[in-house]
Amino acid sequence: MESKPKVIANISNRHVHLAPAELEKLFGPGYKLTKTKDLMQPGEHACDETVKIKGPKGEIDKVRVLGPLRKATQVEISMGDSIRIGAVAPVRSSGDVKGSAPVTMIGPKGTVDLAEGLIVAKRHVHMTPADAAVFGVKDNDTVSIRCGGPRGLVFNNVTARVSDKMALECHLDIEEANAAGVRNGDLVEIV
Q: Residue count at the site for a copy of itself (CB under 8 A)?
A: 22
Under the binding rule (CB under 8 A), the answer on residue 174 touching a copy of itself is yes
Among 34, 111, 140, 156, binds a copy of itself (CB under 8 A): 156
Indicate whether 78 belongs to the interface with a copy of itself (CB under 8 A). Answer: yes
Provide, rounded to whole angstroms, the least separation between the CB of residue 176 and a copy of itself: 4
Q: How far is the CB of 165 from a copy of itself (least distance, A)?
A: 27
Report how far residue 64's alpha carbon sits from residue 47's, in angstroms, rounded to the nearest whole number: 7
108, 27 contact by CB (below 8 A): yes
Q: Which of 36, 111, 140, 157 binds a copy of itself (CB under 8 A)?
A: 157
Nearer to a copy of itself, 130 or 154 (CB): 154
Residue 8 found at the interface with a copy of itself (CB under 8 A): no
Burial of 52: CB neighbours in 10 Å, binned 0-12, 13-18, 19+: middle
Task: Based on the shown chain and the rule CB under 8 A, indicate whether residue 178 belongs to the binding site for a copy of itself.
Answer: yes
Rule CB under 8 A: is residue 86 a binding residue for a copy of itself?
A: no
The C-alpha atoms of residue 50 and residue 15 are separated, in whole angstroms, by 8
**Phi (first) and psi of residue 36, to 5 degrees:** -115, -25
- Binding to a copy of itself (CB under 8 A) within 88-107 occurs at 91
Q: Pattern 122-141, binding to a copy of itself, x per CB under 8 A?
A: xx------------------
Q: In sequence order, what are the residues at sequence separation of 6 or more whose Cβ sits closer than 8 angstroms to the Cβ of residue 133? A: none
Give the whole-angstrom CA distance, residue 154 versus residue 164.
27
Contact region with a copy of itself (CB under 8 A), list: 3-11, 49-57, 129-137, 171-179 = 171-179
How far apart CA 153 and CA 179 sit, in angstroms, is 8
Q: Which one, of 119, 123, 120, 131, lies nearest residue 165 by Cα? A: 131
Query: Which residues here bind a copy of itself, judged by CB under 8 A?
Result: 78-80, 91, 122-123, 150-157, 173-176, 178-181
